[in-house]
């Protein structure tokens, strides 16, 4: 039984992980930075700090580099899976918004034309 507050379905995690693996960590981070530059920068900088601590502790270079890539892939997968969960939750409420522009299946409802009142005098 899933909790009522659960937003991320297993499919979201799988598809996000596949996207990150297909694109590669560098490209996935670059694309993420286009929409969330502050969060992408935070992830990148904090991972650099962790890699530095591992290196200073005497961990071999290959372990430091591999750990950095693994943790970056996990972080990007989690963030992208969360975004997919939010999108699935809110997708039916975004017609006519900026988010709707990301998915061509959304159609902007036609604007209603205002009726002109030809008999009204200015100031009435």
Q: Which residue is it, tokens 């991972």?
A: 47
The predicted pLDDT at position 94 comes to 58
Task: Determine, yes or no, domain membership for 40.
Answer: yes
- Can you tell me the distance from the alpha carbon of 75 to that of 73, in angstroms, rounded to the nearest whole number? 6
In a domain? residue 61? yes
Does residue 123 belong to any structural domain of this protein? no
User: Is the C-alpha dihedral spanning 110, 115, 116, 121 positive or negative?
Assistant: negative
Query: Would 58 be classed as within a structural domain?
Result: yes
- pLDDT tens digits along 68-102: 999 999 999 999 999 988 888 777 665 666 666 66
Of the pLDDT bands very low, low, confident and very high (cuts 50, 70, 90), residue 124 is: low
Within 8 A by CB and 6+ apart from 62, the residues are none
Domain contains 105: no
Residue 89 pLDDT: 78
Residue 87 pLDDT = 81
Report the 10 Å Cβ neighbour count for 93. Answer: 10
What's the total number of domains in the chain?
1
Per residue in 12-55, pLDDT (tens digit) is 999 999 999 999 999 999 999 999 999 999 999 999 999 999 99
- Residue 87, φ and ψ in degrees, nearest 5: -60, -45
The answer as to whether 73 is a domain residue is yes
Query: Domain range spanning residue 15?
Result: 10-83
Distance in angstroms (rounded) separating the CA atoms of residues 13 and 82: 8
Is 65 a member of any domain? yes
Whole-angstrom distance, CA of residue 42 vs CA of residue 123: 57
């Amino acid at each position: 039984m899933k909790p009522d507050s659960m937003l991320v379905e297993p499919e979201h995690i799988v598809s996000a992980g596949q996207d990150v693996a297909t694109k590669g960590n560098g490209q996935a981070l670059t694309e993420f930075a286009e929409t969330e530059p502050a969060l992408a920068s935070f992830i990148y900088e904090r991972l650099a700090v962790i890699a530095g601590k591992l290196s200073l502790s005497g961990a071999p270079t290959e372990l430091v580099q591999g750990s950095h890539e693994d943790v970056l892939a996990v972080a990007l997968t989690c963030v992208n899976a969360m975004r997919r969960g939010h999108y699935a939750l809110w997708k039916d409420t975004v017609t006519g918004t900026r988010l709707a522009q990301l998915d061509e299946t959304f159609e902007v409802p036609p604007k209603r034309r205002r009726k002109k009142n030809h008999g009204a005098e200015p100031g009435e």
